[in-house]
Structure 1
Amino acid sequence: MVVFFIILFSLLMLFVRKDNVTYIILILLTFITFFTQFLVGRTFEYKSYKTIFNVSFICINIYLIIKPWSYANILRVEDLNVNFFVFFKKILYKFLFINLFLNLLILILVLIFLPDISAFKAESAYLNLYDQIPYFANIFRYAYTTQSLGYLAIPIFYYYLGNLEKKEALYAFLFSSSSLLSGFAFYSRAQIFTYTLLFIIYFFLIKKSLPKFIQVKVLKLIRYSSVCIVILFLFITYIRFSAMDYYGDRIPQDSIVKDPIIYSLFDYASQSYSNGLYQLEVYNDEKSLNGEQFFRDVYQVLNFFGILNWDAKDSQDHIDRAYNYDGGAFNGYTAPLVFNFGYITTLLISLIYFISIKLRIKNKKVKSLKSMYFLILMLVIPIVSIFYTGYALLLFPIVFLVFSRFMFAIKRLI
C-alpha cells in the first residue's frame, strides 16, 4: 500500500506549479490522510493479488480526480450572460434564505433538546424529535438534502469581490454560509471542514482574477475565520468524545497517539485508505447496492410525493449489511463507488470527471461565471475524497443548476 501511494504521490508531484496552490492543497490532503493512519496504529492484514489490484485501483481513481486541477490557471472570471446571472441569483438567494432560517432553527432546537453531541451522532437521538416536534422530520430531511446548495454562492461572492461590490459580496457570503451553518446544526465536522476548505481552495483557484489588495484582504479573512472555525471544530470534537468514556478503549496498543480526544482527530482523518481497501477486499456481487447509497435522497423525495414506495429503514439496513455494519465509517472515494456501481462504472465515472474538468480549465485563462458554478461543485469531490465519494452531496445543487438553466431557457422563449 505504501509503495503504490508513493508512486501516486510522485506522479502527482510531477505536475506541481508554485502558482497552483489549489492543486498543491489537494495533494497535501491526500498525503496527510494516508500517513496519519500510521500514527493511530492502523493495520491491514490482506496480502494477495486482489489486494494489489485494489490498492492500484484506489490510487488510479484518486489520481483521476486530483490531476485535472493541475491545469488550472484562471486569470479572469467574467459574467458573459448578465440576464441568466440575475435570474439565477434571484432564485438561489430565495432558497438559501430559507436554508439559513431552517438551519438556524434546527441548530436552536438541537441545542435545546439534544445538547449531547455524542447522543446525536452515535445514537441518532435526533430521530426522537420527529415525534416531539411537529413537521421537524420534514424540515430536517429538507435541510439535510439541500445542505450543499450554499456552495453555489461562493463564486458569486468572489465575483462581486473582484468587481469591488462589497455589499453584494457580503450578501453572497452570508447566503453561502448556510452550508456552514448546516454543519453546526447537524454536528457534522465533515460538513464544516468541507465548506471551510472549499471556500479557501476556490480562492486560490481564482486568486489571479482578483485585485492585489483584495487578495491580501481575503487572505486575512481566511486566516481569522479559519481560526474561529477550527476552535469551534475542536470544541465539537472535545464535547463529543469527552462524553464517550469507552472511546479510549478503541485505541490500538501500537498507536503513537494515546489521548482519546487527539486520537479521535487523527482517526477521523486517516480512515479512508485502510477502511476503503478492507471493504474492497471483502466486496462481492452480493454486496452490490445498485446505487442505493447514492440515490437515497432522490428516493426519499420521490417517496414523500408518493411517486415511489421506499422505506428509509430498509434502505439503511441494506447498506449496513453490505458494509458489514461498518457503513458509518469513512471508506474513502473508491470503495463506495464500487459497492454502488461496480469496478468498471467506477473507473468510467472517474474518467468522465477527469476529462470534464480538464476540458473546462486547460488553456482556459478566462472563465465565465456560469462555468464556475459547475467547477466549484466538482471541486468538492477531491476535497471530500479523504472521507467519502461526495457525488451524492452534489445531486441537489446540480439538479438545481440544471433546472435553473432550463427555466431560464423557457423564460426566454416565452
Structure 2
Amino acid sequence: MAVLATFIFVATFALIVSERVNRVVAVMIGVAAMAMVGIVNSETAFFSAHTGVDWEVIFLLFGMMIIVSVAKQTGLFEYLAIWAARQSGGRPVRLMVLLILVTALVGAFLDSVTVLLLVAPVTFSVCQRLGLKPIPFILAEVFAANIGGTATLIGDPPNIMIGTRAGLGFMDFLINLAPITVVLLGVLIVLCRIMFRSVFVEDPVRAAAIMQLDPLDQIKDRRRAVYSIAVIGLVVVGFTLHTVLHVDPAIVAMLGAGLIIAVNRSTVAEFLEEVEWDTLVFFMGLFVLVGGLVHVGVIDVIGKAAIDAVGDEYLLAAGGLMAGASTIGAIIDTIPFTATMMPIVEGFVATIPDEATGTALWWALALGADLGGNATAVGASANVVAIGVAKREGHPISFWHFTKYGIIVTAVTVPIAFVYVWLRYFM
C-alpha cells in the first residue's frame, strides 16, 4: 500500500506541476484513485485529525474570505491602496519594501493565510493605479508572510503545533526566532530587489496623480467601513489571544464573518463574492492525499530513517530536520509534515541529556517548516491562497513561475537559519 500511495501522490503532483489539467481536477483524480484502492476512506478522509481534511484550516479560510468580501464592498482596500502608494511616493522599490515589512509584521501576529487575504486586494489595487505588474509584489508578500510568521508562536501553523507539543510559549518563540527573522527579512528585501528588478520602472505621471488623491475619497460607505474595521480589529485580537481564550482561530474567523455580515446587513451575493471555492476544494483534496501517505506510514518511515541516520550527532540532527522540513515539507505542505515529525522529534529530544540542545531541535524543525514553505506553490497554505486570489484578479501565477523564485528564497534563507542555530545553540 505504501508504494501504491506514493505512486498516486507522485502522479498527482506531476499533473499539478505540468499544469496540463486544472489543479483542482488533478487533486480530485488523486483522491479518487486513493479511495478506489482502499488507501483512504470516509473515516480517514473526513474524521481523522491526523490523516483527514484539516477542517480548522478550511473554515479559517472560509471565514476570512467572507470578511474580506464584505470589507471590499466598502472601498476600504482602495483606501489602503492609495495610502500605501502615497507613503511610497509612487516608487516601486519603496512600495515593495513597505509591503514586505507590513506583511511580515502583521504576519507575526496573524496566520499567514489571513495576512495574504487582507493584503492581496490592496496590492492589486495599488499596482493597477501605478501601472505595475502585481505578481512580483504578491510573491514578495507570500515570502514575507511565511518568514514573518516564523517569529512568534501564532505566526505560522507549524509553530502553534510545535509550541503545543514541546511546551514552548509565545515569549520562547519571540526570544529565539525573532532575531533570525529580522535578519532574513533584510535578506528577502535584497533578494526581491534583484529577482524583480525588471518591474521597478517608475511612471512619474501616475505617481504624481496618486499623490493628489485623498484616500478617504475611496470609501464608498463610511458607516459600513467603520463597522468592517471594528470587526477586523476584533478578529485580530481574537487571533492574538486565542491561546489565552482557548478559542480556535477557525471559530474566531467564523464569528467575525457572522458579525460583519450582521452589522453591515450584507446580501448573500456580497459576502460570498470573494470566496475562493476552487482553493477550498484544492486544500481539502490535498489534505486527503497527504493523509493517505501518513496513513500507510510513508512519512513516518522517512522521518524515522532521517533521525536514525544522525545518531547522537545533534547538530547533524538539527540540520537534517531543517533540510527535511524545507524539502519534503515544500512538496506535501508543511502542516502534515510537521504533525508527523513531532512525535519523532519528541522521542529523540527525550534521549538528549542537555535540555537546551533538545530545545534547539524544535527550533530547527520550526525554521525548516516555516522557511521551506516558500519553496513551491503548494509548500504552504498562504502560497495556495495567494495563487487563488491572483487567478481571480486576472493575474494567474503558474506553479513554475512561483517555484522558480521560491526555491531561490528557500535556498538562501534556510542555510542562513542553520548557521544561526549552529552559532546560537551549538557553539
Normalised to the residue count of structure 1, the TM-score between the two structures is: 0.31
Structure scoring higher RCO (CA < 8 A, sep ≥ 6) equals 1
User: Which one has the bigger helix percentage?
Assistant: 2
Normalised to the residue count of structure 2, the TM-score between the two structures is: 0.30
